[in-house]
Every structure is written in C-alpha cells, then in structure tokens.
C-alpha cells in the first residue's frame, strides 16, 4: 500500500522526494515523511500526519541543500495514524522506510528485547531497530541478516548515518522499481514517481540488495554477486499522470476511457478479429482448457463477473469467478485443464498474486490481464495481456475496469473462434459490436450533466440499491462499489429477482433504486421488479437502451444509453454509474480521488 521513494543525485533531493510522494500519494495518505542528508552529511527526519501537502509546508522555510533522501506516504497497518508512527523510522545508525507487513515483528521484539527502545507501534520500527543491531559498518551484510530474520512482505529503503549519499533498497513481494536517470538514481514503489525522469527502469529483483548513489546503481544477488538489471520501457508520459485541467483524476480518467479502449483493442486486430500473436498468447491456451476460473479483487473481480456472464453462454464451458482473498485459502478444484485468468490493474494486489501462485501450483495455465507493465503479477503469470489504460491515479477504478472488460471480451471472441463457437464472420461481427461501444461511451460522457443533476436526490440518503438481472446484475455490482467507496453511502447490488427474498423490506419511501434493464430477453422480468419497488415508494433511477419502451410512471429519472447489441451495454453503463458516484461525492464535498481509509494498490493482506 504505502508509497516509497529514494533519490540520490545532483538535484535538490527534498523537491524530488516531495514531488514523487505527491505522485505516489494514491497508495496511502494517512501520513507522509522524508529523511535526507543535509550539506553537513547529517540525517534529518521530518514526518507528519495528513497529506503530502501538509509535509510540503514544513519545508517552505528550509534553505540548506540536500542531494540524497528517502520519502514515504503511509497507509496505516500496524499502529494508528500519528506523527510517531509515520515513516521514516530512525534507530541508531539506521533510517528506514517500509512498505509491507513484518508478520513476526512481535516475536522479534521479544527475542531482541526491543520493547524499551521502541517509540512507535509499528512493525517497521522493529525492522529499523533490528537492522541497527546488525549494522557494523557493512550495509549489505546487515541487510542480509535482517532479510534472513523478517517474515512477511517488505520493500525497504534505508540510509545509514555514516554513508552519506547512499541509499540501500531490498524487497520481498512488495513492489520496487528503480532507474538511473540524468537526474540521478531513483527507486520507488511504482512507476508514476519515475516517469517524470525516465521511461527506462527495472524491477528490483526480490531479495537482491540495490545500492543507489549519485552516480550509479549497483545490484547484488542474495549470494553477494553483482548482477545487471533487466531493463524495461514504459510508454506512459508525464501528462498521463497529471490532471490536465480536470478538477479530479477520476473525472479525467472517466473521460479517457474511449481512448484507452482504442489503445487496448486496435493494435490487437487482424482483419477485424482479435489476434494475440504479439502478446505471445497461443491459441492452444484457449483450446486446451475445459473450464475457466477468473480471480481478482474489487473492481477487477467485477470485471470478472461480467466476463462470466458473457463467456459461459458464449463458450459453453464452466466459468467461475473467485475473490482472490478467499481463493488463496481454499482447496480449489482446478487443474492443468483449467485456464485461470487473473485480473489486476496494478499487477501488485497481494491476494491476487497469492491466488495466481496457488493456481500455478495446481498445474493450471495462467493468463494475467494487467495494466502496469512489468508488475509482479504480469511477470509471474504464464501469459499476460496488457491493458493500455495508462496510469490510473484516482483510487476509484474507472478506465482500468473498461479496458479489463475490453480485454476479456477480446479473449472471449478469440476463444469462441478457435473453439468453433464462432465462425470468422461471427467473430468480426462481435468485434464490430465491441468497437461500437467507443462512440456510445463518448455520448454518455458528453451527457454527463444528466448524472450531475440527478444526484441531488442521493446526497441525503444512507442507502442505495442497484438492481439488474444477468449481465445487468454484474454491472450493478461495480456501480454499488463505486458509490460506496467515494460517497460513503451504503450501496448494495441485488439480482433483481432476489429482492423479494428479504431485501425488499428495506425499500421505503424515497429510497433510491438504480435499476439497470438493458437485456432484451429479461427486460420484462426486471421491469416487474422495478414495479415492485416503485409500489413501495422507491425513488427509481432507471437505465435502459434508447429503444426500450418504458411506462413513464415507473421511473423518477430515466437515463437512456445508445442502442447496442445487449452484450456490450456494460461499457456506456459503466460511464453512467461512474458519473453518478463521482457527482455524489462532489455534492457531498468529499475527497473524490483519495477517499478515506482506502489506497490504490493493496499490497498487504
């Protein structure tokens, strides 16, 4: 979760660290801190609860120069949100920042009798104190001892009092990327902090010790042997991680969806049919399976729910969707004939990663649908299908969801073709249907005032229900999550036919029900359920296709999306539901991009 950055080089370190932390803040924003060597090679630590802007204010009056330092933005796990629990942690010769969880911190505290010296409640300080005990002037040897003793996940960036200009980094599970650039050496928990300086970077190999100085980066493997990194290139630009005139990243990212879809779909078309040759995904992967198991968390899991509703009838093989945090502790019925599709925007979600590893031990072949190039999930999966959404900064996922869907629809199309469920003509007609969603999304974005106006009714509500059947139900799940996470209004998605089995007791006068009815074959059934909630006084916001004929008394607000093949309506509906959540959050004066308690990348359990 937490964002971490280290810099050594000719430029002003504090500026680079603070700017980097602003880029990384979406990973956690309970507190922020930096540590740096001043011009007399003394380490200073400054940390504060609250956002990076808070920390930045502290530095307006400091003029002394600094060329080496580390910075951290925290998402609290061990110990409350306080200045003392903020990072960096200083212990004797050691100053350290940490992302991850040290699971055995309690037993280490006892074994090394650290209780009296600890000033914070964090597992991270235990690591700092332990490292200080091991440190006898040899950073690599001390770090190795630390790594041998700690259990759990970690990415550490470390400075030693007597090593000015040097930063050491090491990781296990938690992500770290690094680059030597014209501005100097940088290490960070993710790419967004590096892209202002370079497109070329490497992923810090697990358990290797990386040393950064102002003029180079060196890497030692666990045996102490110097190794060269495997360089990677990212095609994101700096603009992609800026708001570019939009008031919030979320709104910008909603607007970017049509472009993101084009970038994800078009390079993979040959004669109008999905072709994954450049992704090195062989057709044989799609032929050799008798079931599909989709695993993910949050929004990515909801993309999986849509995929299930689409793929099962299309391919006529079982498609199961699992929540990664559950799957990883189950005894799954999967084997070498199972195609496991893991979905993750960040490619670092710890539960999804663990689920992927479990699937591989079961002999299943794995395909990862991932947005961040070179991320752990992408690297560990047998095959990877990158979505090309560019960096997604708002904590609430929007464009990543749409491109995940696009990628899954393409996989479905290719599978149907190679498995004989589609002729070539049917495959290209399906793909044409997928491309039609791009103007449909543009239309809904251009009509965003409809959602802006309708949310007035939601602002004072405590509960909201989303209902739909089939694919519409799968979309509803994401609509409810979006509303919850950024407006703090309780929202639940229900299969419309399930309402009568209890939930309808909660429908009283004025309770908002957002009903989605875009599937022709079950339209009348959903409308009956709409009638039932209307009869009990619900405030109904109905979403249908343009052509649908609806009794005007049924809906308090009726939103129409452009007519499409029923299988593709999720795309414009995603825009509608995202905008409803966005404007509700704005209307309640909340922090849209960084909602309370959340973090963008969930790298701890």
By CB under 6 A, what part of segment 121-160 binds ligand M6R? Answer: none
Binding test (CB under 6 A) with ligand M6R, winner from 213, 291, 349, 594:
349
Residue nearest to ligand M6R (CB): 298
Question: Which of residues 346 and 529 has its CB atom nearest to ligand M6R in the complex?
Answer: 346
300 interacts with ligand M6R by CB under 6 A: yes
- Candidates 23, 346, 519, 594: give the one binding ligand M6R (CB under 6 A): 346
Comparison of 483 and 507: residue with beta carbon closer to ligand M6R: 483
| DSSP H or E stretch at residue 527 | helix 523-535
Number of shown-chain residues binding ligand M6R (CB under 6 A): 16
570-587 and 257-265 helices cross at what angle (nearest 10)? 150
* Contacts with ligand M6R, 165-194, as mask; x by CB under 6 A: ------------------------------
Residue 474 CB, nearest approach to ligand M6R (Å): 15
Task: Tell me how far apart the alpha carbons of residues 48 and 33 are, in angstroms, rounded to a whole number.
Answer: 6
What are the respective helix, strand and coil percentages of the chain, to the nearest 5? 40, 25, 35
Instruction: Please state, in angstroms and rounded to a whole number, the distance separating the CA atoms of residues 72 and 31.
Output: 8
For ligand M6R, the binding residue among 352, 376, 387, 402 (CB under 6 A) is 352
289 is catalytic: no
CB of 297 to ligand M6R, least distance (A): 4
Options 29-37, 139-147, 295-303, 561-569: segment touching ligand M6R (CB under 6 A)? 295-303
Q: Using CA atoms, how far apart are residues 141 and 147, in angstroms rounded to an integer?
A: 10
CB closer to ligand M6R out of 297 and 358: 297
**Residue 602 makes contact with ligand M6R by CB under 6 A:** yes
Closest CA to 561 of 582, 542, 584: 542
**Known catalytic membership, residue 2:** yes
**Phi, then psi, of 63 in degrees rounded to 5:** -110, -20
**What minimum distance in Å lies between the beta carbon of 401 and ligand M6R?**
8
* Residue with smaller CB distance to ligand M6R, 300 or 586: 300
Which residues, 373 to 432, sit near ligand M6R by CB under 6 A?
395-397
Q: Are 296 and 324 in contact (CB under 8 A)?
A: yes
| Residue closer to ligand M6R, measured from CB, 464 or 544 | 464
Name the residue among 338, 337, 317, 316 with its Cα closest to residue 327.
338
Binding mask 471-510 for ligand M6R (x = CB under 6 A): ----------x---x-------------------------
Give me the least distance between CB of 351 and ligand M6R, in Å please: 8
Distance (Å, whole) CA 72 – CA 87? 6
DSSP result, 450-461: HHHHHGGGTTT-
Q: Which of 47, 448, 482, 600 is catalytic?
A: 600
Q: Which is nearer to ligand M6R, 109 or 585 (CB)?
A: 585
Query: Which CB sits closer to ligand M6R, 99 or 352?
Result: 352
Q: Does 353 bind ligand M6R (CB under 6 A)?
A: no
Stretch that binds ligand M6R, among 75-83, 294-302, 445-453, 504-512 (CB under 6 A): 294-302
Q: Locate the DSSP E strands across 221-311.
A: 226-227, 231-233, 269-270, 273-274, 291-296
Whether 97 contacts 156, CB under 8 Å: yes
Nearest distance from C-beta of residue 480 to ligand M6R, angstroms: 11
Of positions 100, 274, 298, 374, contacts ligand M6R by CB under 6 A: 298
Of 47 and 74, nearer to ligand M6R (C-beta) is 74
Decide if 368 contacts 384 (C-beta within 8 A). yes
Interface with ligand M6R, residue 584, by CB under 6 A? no
The two structure tokens encoding residue 573: 């509906």
Q: Select the residue interacting with ligand M6R from 297, 307, 542, 543 (CB under 6 A).
A: 297
DSSP result, 422-472: S-HHHHHHHHHHHHHHHHHHHHHHHTTHHHHHHGGGTTT-SEEEEEESTHH
Nearer Cβ to ligand M6R, position 17 or 296? 296
Give the x-and-dash track for 315-344 against ligand M6R (CB under 6 A): -----------------------------x
Q: Min. distance of Cβ 306 from ligand M6R in angstroms?
A: 14
The angle formed by the CA atoms of residues 47, 49 and 50, to the nearest 5 degrees, is 120
Q: How many CA atoms lie within 13 A of 162 on its CB side?
A: 8
CA-CA-CA-CA dihedral for 430, 431, 435, 436, to nearest 10: -20
Which of 399/534 has CB closer to ligand M6R?
399
Q: Minimum CB separation from ligand M6R for residue 88, in Å? A: 26
Measured CA to CA in angstroms, residue 312 lies from 178, 315, 382 at distances of: 42, 5, 23
User: How wide is the angle at C-alpha 180 spanned by C-alphas 174 and 182, nearest 5°?
Assistant: 140
Which residues, in sequence order, are bridge partners of residue 276? none
Q: Quote the Cα angle for 159-85-100, to 5°.
A: 65
Contact call for residues 297 and 325 (beta carbons, < 8 A):
yes
Residue recorded with tokens 């666990």 = 222
Residue tagged active-site, from 2, 68, 289, 413: 2
| Choice from 299, 381, 464, 529 touching ligand M6R (CB under 6 A) | 299
Distance of closest approach, residue 168 Cβ to ligand M6R, in angstroms: 28
Rounded to an integer, what is the distance from CA 70 to the centroid of its chain? 24
Nearest-approach distance from CB 544 to ligand M6R, in angstroms: 25
**Is the Cβ–Cβ distance between 378 and 406 less than 8 Å?**
no
C-beta closer to ligand M6R: residue 397 or 519: 397
Choosing from 345, 519, 569, 594, the residue that interacts with ligand M6R (CB under 6 A) is: 345
Beta bridge partners of 338: 291
Shortest separation between residue 377's beta carbon and ligand M6R, angstroms: 8
| Minimum distance from residue 63 beta carbon to ligand M6R (Å) | 40
Catalytic residue IDs: 2, 600
Q: Which residues bind ligand M6R (CB under 6 A)?
A: 297-300, 344-346, 349, 352, 395-397, 481, 485, 601-602
């Amino acid at each position: 979760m937490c964002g971490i950055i280290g810099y050594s080089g000719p430029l002003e370190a504090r500026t680079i660290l603070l700017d980097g932390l602003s880029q990384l803040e979406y990973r956690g924003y309970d507190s922020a801190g930096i540590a740096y060597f001043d011009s007399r090679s003394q380490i200073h630590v400054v940390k504060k609860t609250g956002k990076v802007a808070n920390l930045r204010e502290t530095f307006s009056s400091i003029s002394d120069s600094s060329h080496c330092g580390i910075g951290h933005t925290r998402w609290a796990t061990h110990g409350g949100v306080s200045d003392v629990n903020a990072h960096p942690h200083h212990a004797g010769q050691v100053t350290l920042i940490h992302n991850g969880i040290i699971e055995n911190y309690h037993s280490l505290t006892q074994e090394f009798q650290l209780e009296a010296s600890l000033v914070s409640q964090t597992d991270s300080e235990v690591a700092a104190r332990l490292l200080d005990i091991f440190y006898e002037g040899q950073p690599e040897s001390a770090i190795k001892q630390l790594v041998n003793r700690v259990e759990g996940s970690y990415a550490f960036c470390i400075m030693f009092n007597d090593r000015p200009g040097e930063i050491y980094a090491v990781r296990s599970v938690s992500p770290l990327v690094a680059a030597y650039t014209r501005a100097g050496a940088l290490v960070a928990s993710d790419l967004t902090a590096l892209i202002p300086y370079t497109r070329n970077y490497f992923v810090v190999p697990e358990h290797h010790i990386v040393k950064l100085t102002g003029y180079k980066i060196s890497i030692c493997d666990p045996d102490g042997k110097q190794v060269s990194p495997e360089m990677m290139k990212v095609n994101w630009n700096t603009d992609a991680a800026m708001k570019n005139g939009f008031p919030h990243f979320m709104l910008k990212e909603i607007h970017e969806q049509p472009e993101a879809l084009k970038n994800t779909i078009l390079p993979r078309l040959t004669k109008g049919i999905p072709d994954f040759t450049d992704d090195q995904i062989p057709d044989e992967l799609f032929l050799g399976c008798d079931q599909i198991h989709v695993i993910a968390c949050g929004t990515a899991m909801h993309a999986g729910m849509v995929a299930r509703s689409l793929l099962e009838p299309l391919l006529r093989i079982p498609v199961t969707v699992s929540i990664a945090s559950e799957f990883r502790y189950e005894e799954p019925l999967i084997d070498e004939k199972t195609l496991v599709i893991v979905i993750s925007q960040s490619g670092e979600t710890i539960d999804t990663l663990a689920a992927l590893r479990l699937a591989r031990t079961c002999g299943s072949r794995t395909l990862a649908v991932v947005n961040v190039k070179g991320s752990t999930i992408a690297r560990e999966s047998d095959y990877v299908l990158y979505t090309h959404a560019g960096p997604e900064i708002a904590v609430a996922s929007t464009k990543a969801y749409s491109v995940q869907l696009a990628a899954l629809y393409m996989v479905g199309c290719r599978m149907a073709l190679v498995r004989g469920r589609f002729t070539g003509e049917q495959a290209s007609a399906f793909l044409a249907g997928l491309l039609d969603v791009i103007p449909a999304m543009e239309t809904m974005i251009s009509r965003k005032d409809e959602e802006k106006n309708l949310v007035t009714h939601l602002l004072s509500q405590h509960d909201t229900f989303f209902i739909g059947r089939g694919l519409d139900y799968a979309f509803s799940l994401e609509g409810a999550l979006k509303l919850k996470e950024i407006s703090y209004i309780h929202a639940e998605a229900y299969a419309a036919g399930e309402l009568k089995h209890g939930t309808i007791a909660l429908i009283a006068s004025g309770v908002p029900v957002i009903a989605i009815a875009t599937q022709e074959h079950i339209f009348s059934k959903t409308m009956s359920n709409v009638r039932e909630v209307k009869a009990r006084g619900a405030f109904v916001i109905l979403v249908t296709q343009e052509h649908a004929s609806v009794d005007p008394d049924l809906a308090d607000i009726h939103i129409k999306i452009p007519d499409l093949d029923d299988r593709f309506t999720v795309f414009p509906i995603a825009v509608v539901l995202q905008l409803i959540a966005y404007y509700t959050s704005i209307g309640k004066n909340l922090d849209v991009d960084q909602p309370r308690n959340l973090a963008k990348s969930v790298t701890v359990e």
